[in-house]
Amino acid sequence: MRILNSPAQANGGNGDRKNLDACTIVIFGASGDLTARKLIPALYHLFKENQMPADFRVVGFARREKTDASWRTELRAALDQFSRTKPVDEKVWAAFANNLFYCQGDLTDDAAYKKLETQLAGFGSGPLRENLLFYLAISPSQFGEVVEQVHRCGLLNKEGSAWQRIVVEKPFGHDLASAQELNRELTRYAHEQQVFRIDHYLGKETVQNILMFRFSNSIFERLWNRESVDHVQITVSEKIGVGDRGGYYEEAGALRDMVQNHMLQVLSLIAMEPPVSLEAEAVRDEKVKLLKSIRELSPADVGKQIVRGQYFAGAVNGDPRPGYRQEVKVKPDSNVETFVALKLFIDNWRWSGVPFYLRTGKNLPQSASEVRIQFRPTPNVLFAAQCGSQLDANALTLRLQPDEGIYLRFNGKVPGTTIDVRPVRMHFSYDAEFGAYTPEAYERLLLEAIAGDATLFIRRDEVETAWKIADAIRTGWERKPLTNREFYAAGTWGPIAADDLLAQLGHTWHEPQLLKKLANQ
């Protein structure tokens, strides 16, 4: 896993780039939103930054009838809307578009896969035909059939000198049993090492930098334990409501949508032990060990340590929002959670007794993701009389989005003849330090999948361990309606019950603050 900060550094710092094999990327579900919004823009930018293999092809597979030319035209229009750099470079696009091809076919039609095999054979008998990355931008219910079909027509093999890989999107199951069944379907025709389960959160620059920050800076690593850390807060807040995703949210809820994947992944990186190397399996071994160290939750524990919430009508920054139960495709008496707060304990030597607080929700005051490491306060003997409540505990915040960066909060004396103290901050901003080049998450993840580096992808046992945690929580919620203290107005920071959760140990939530705004204070 590498941290790329500028075009020169992205190419290795000396003009070199990753040594990538020639290959063909086959996107199943090529007519979908994900392809237009994320995948093709990501591949275009990798090509523009000279990150793609010297020889490659992209084949879109979908049911709608299109030609190569019409598909390219559609994607060019989408790029105007979704490219992270504008305007689109016409010369770069023309060169990139020459590598885009379309294959019309139904996912359930045997003949369509034969047609795909013939099209790939037309690229020659070398690596463009044999080195294949299958991106399944389709419903998880279709994963098994597609994998079986590409295996039956000779495009996917467990053995051989060439490589084939499968990239799958979340949701990866809806509980432990379905995730285990999905894993069995995928590994029936492919090795676990060929399966790349994507979580776009792991492609974010600051998420990747967590390991670099922790294990390359001795001043912080020696503080990263129960002796120095009082508690940890992980917040992923969203200004938007469920919108037109009411039907999906009725099935998923915030726990399945955000906690089981994104938030537990961030927690594992923040709290894991140092891996023996940066090899993919070494890093993922430590993440799994951390997840398995999270204290198991009984139904009684869920009642004490987990809070769910649901928004009712309100306003976000003056914008009126309907209540969740008034959203499209939502049941009028729904108990589905749009907010979750958790207090988790990690039963290992490093973190024994340290509470980890996680929260995520819809229709909150701002969209932000951050991790706050709250250090233990100093003994209350030196400055307590003069400073009182102004004496704040030190904290380190890793801002994942937006305004990616890190800031350290500590106490400073206000200039003057009296002993007055004020919390101050030291800021580090990715944008200010490294300039504008920050790859999108899908750029990094696609590049690593092409290279065969699974560090940023989720292993089978990671998925299943995370589902065990989520399933225990859902069991504790079973047949229990939401209480009045679990509802919150749109535009607020969640239900009163979430504040009660932290108050049990004398803690309070810290609201995310925009780094750019702080820097100007």
> How far apart (Å, rounded) are the C-alpha atoms in residues 324 and 250?
10
Type and span of the H or E element at 70 = helix 68-82
Mean pLDDT confidence for 321-331 = 94
CB 24 within 8 A of CB 128: yes
Q: What pLDDT band is residue 501 in, cutting at 50, 70 and 90? A: very high
Residue type (1 letter), 161: S
Residue 142 · residue 107 · CB < 8 Å: yes
Element (H, E) at 196: strand 195-197
pLDDT of residue 61: 96
Q: What is the 3-state secondary structure (H, E, C) of 297-321?
A: CCHHHHHHHEEEEEEECEEECCEEE
Type of residue numbered 206: T
200 in active site: no
Is the separation of the CB atoms in 139 and 33 below 8 Å?
no
The DSSP string of 339-360 is EEEEEEEB-STTTTT-EEEEEE
Residue-level pLDDT at 370: 93
Average pLDDT of span 1-19? 42
| In the predicted structure, residue 105 carries a pLDDT above the cut 70 | yes
Q: How far does the chain reach from its first CA to its final CA, in angstroms?
A: 36
For residue 241, what are the CA distances in angstroms to 234, 249, 364, 367? 20, 10, 8, 11
- Residue 167 DSSP SS3: strand
Confidence category of residue 422, pLDDT binned at 50, 70, 90: low
Provide the residue type at 195 as one letter: V
Task: Say which of 262, 427, 507, 510 is annotated catalytic.
Answer: 262
Whether the model clears a pTM of 0.85, i.e. scores above it, the answer is yes
Rounded to whole angstroms, the Cα distance separating 103 from 99 reads 13
Q: What is the mean pLDDT of residues 84-107?
A: 93
> How confident is the model over 143-155, as a mean pLDDT?
94
Please identify which residue in the block is written with the tokens 């959160």: 201
How is residue 516 written in tokens?
Answer: 């750019």
* Maximum C-alpha span of the chain: 85
Q: Which H or E run contains 110?
A: helix 110-121
Q: How many residues are present in the chain?
A: 521
Give, as one character, the DSSP assignment of residue 326.
G
pLDDT of residue 386: 60
Residues 156-198 pLDDT 10s: 998 888 999 999 988 888 999 999 999 999 999 999 999 999 8
DSSP state of 401: E
**Residue-range domains of the chain with CATH:** 7-171 (3.40.50.720), 202-435+458-519 (3.30.360.10)
Taking alpha carbons only, the member of 396, 376, 391, 398 closest to residue 423 is 391
Q: How confident is residue 517, by pLDDT bands cut at 50, 70 and 90?
A: low
Which whole number is the average pLDDT over 301-305?
Answer: 96
